Structure 1
Amino acid sequence: MSVHGRRVPAGRAGRLRLRRSLAGALRGADLLERKARLLLDRECAERRAAEEAGLVWRNRLAEADSWLVRGVMLGGERALAEAVPAGRASIEVRWDALMGVRHPAAMAWTGPVRSPTEPTPPNTALAHAETAYRAAVSAAAEHARHQAATDLLAAEAERTRQRVRALRRHWIPRLRSELTAVELALEEAEHEEAVRRGWAAARRAG
């Protein structure tokens, strides 16, 4: 008899090994189910946060687009080109881990800084547009962070559920079946031994 590719000794030693394997598999399934629940709880929280951040992003983007149209109508496309700072935005992401799953946990966004020599937006509408676009980019980055965390946690939760299903549907039933077979064989062997001892005792008494 073999378990997971390993030969299981017959008799009481085999029974002991199978009992230990079964107990370990049951504990493992329980721990994996707990892990899956924790991952799913965090996934749901991140998914809700992603939906909220996405709504904020779209609203701020619409506001920024509205100010941009007004600014271009007032100053033309040349004014828009002059209003764009030369610097670049930067994003710093802090990663965290839950049950071994690394995911983005926080985000720090820094907008481009306009140097003292650069021109400022030539009209109020473009100034409002710049502020609104900065807010929209920050909201977009926050939305992306929550969505990435959602995807990573969901993927690991699904892998964990698959492992639980493999244990509950295949590995644990197989161990129980093999353990039952070993215990039946031991009972039969013990019964036969008792019968032989009874016959031997009867012969000696006769």
Structure 2
Amino acid sequence: MRPHGHRTPTGRAGRLRLRRSLATARRGADLLERKLRLLLDREQTERRAADTAGRTWRERLSDADTWLVRGVLLGGESALAQAVPAGLAHVDVRWATLMGVRHPEAVALTGPVRSAVEPTPPNTALAHAETAYRAAIRAAADHAVHLAAADLLADESARTRQRVRALRRHWIPRLEAELAAVELALEETEHEEAVRRRWAASHRSR
């Protein structure tokens, strides 16, 4: 927006200045609209990926819970204590940037590593449960990454849309109106000058 107290420029210099400002504003709006399209496309892609990962997460978790119940029924709670490795899972997130928006792009998951001295799951059901829980953790991490990326892109899309709206609905129309007023004033001035020149020429010829 223009500073308080701004006065519309006049004359040919003012017209040139307004034309340049108008061209810059239109070019800026075009670039912002292109950015907005790219952001919205990527956001939709991330939303779909998050939905897919979310479904996979819920399915793997359900499978894991089923195997866990079977394993506990077969071996008791003491068998469950033996089946859980002492280590922790590690998640590394790779980041990317799109149109100035930094967002998570992918995730690398390293599951807990069972040491050589740790016992293995005492029955097949608990072994299946461990595998299913690892898959569920990976799907959950994928879901979180894609959902976070979609939210970050959506936030920037909203800001970009607001800037485009300000340019298209307020700034550009104002510049167009100011330019039209300056051009009309110049036309009137040029017409008056032409009339005076003709009047002066006619009096000199007498």
- Return the TM-score normalized by structure 1: 0.95
**Which amino acid is 2:85 matched to?**
P
Identify unmatched segments of 5+ residues in structure 1: none
**Which amino acid is 2:122 matched to?**
P
Equivalent residue for 1:180? 180
Equivalent residue for 2:119? 119
Query: How much has 1:78 moved relative to structure 2?
Result: 2.1
- Pick from 2, 5, 25 the counterpart of residue 4 of structure 1: 2
Identify unmatched segments of 5+ residues in structure 2: none
Paired with 1:156 and 1:73, the residues of 2 have a C-alpha distance of 51
After superposition, give the CA deviation of every residue in 1:39-79 in whole Å (9 maximum; x if it has no partner).
11111111111111111111000000000111111122222
Q: Secondary structure at the match of 2:107?
A: strand
Counting matched residue pairs gives 204
Paired with 1:186 and 1:59, the residues of 2 have a C-alpha distance of 73
Query: Percent identity, aligned pairs only?
Result: 75
Paired with 2:167 and 2:45, the residues of 1 have a C-alpha distance of 28
Paired with 2:52 and 2:10, the residues of 1 have a C-alpha distance of 61
The yes-or-no answer on 1:163 pairing with 2:163 is yes
Equivalent residue for 2:132? 132
Query: How much has 1:7 moved relative to structure 2?
Result: 5.1
Query: How much has 1:153 moved relative to structure 2?
Result: 1.0
Paired with 1:47 and 1:143, the residues of 2 have a C-alpha distance of 9
Paired with 1:79 and 1:181, the residues of 2 have a C-alpha distance of 86
Paired with 1:43 and 1:153, the residues of 2 have a C-alpha distance of 6
Query: How much has 1:8 moved relative to structure 2?
Result: 5.1
Stretch deviating more after TM superposition (14-23 or 157-166): 157-166
Equivalent residue for 2:152? 152
Paired with 1:188 and 1:87, the residues of 2 have a C-alpha distance of 84
After superposition, give the CA deviation of every residue in 1:88-116 in whole Å (9 maximum; x if it has no partner).
10011111111111111111000000111
Q: Secondary structure at the match of 2:50?
A: helix
The yes-or-no answer on 1:82 pairing with 2:86 is no
Paired with 1:94 and 1:7, the residues of 2 have a C-alpha distance of 51
After superposition, give the CA deviation of every residue in 1:108-145 in whole Å (9 maximum; x if it has no partner).
00000011111111111111101100000001001111
Where does 1:11-30 land on structure 2 (aligned, <5 Å)? 11-30=11-30
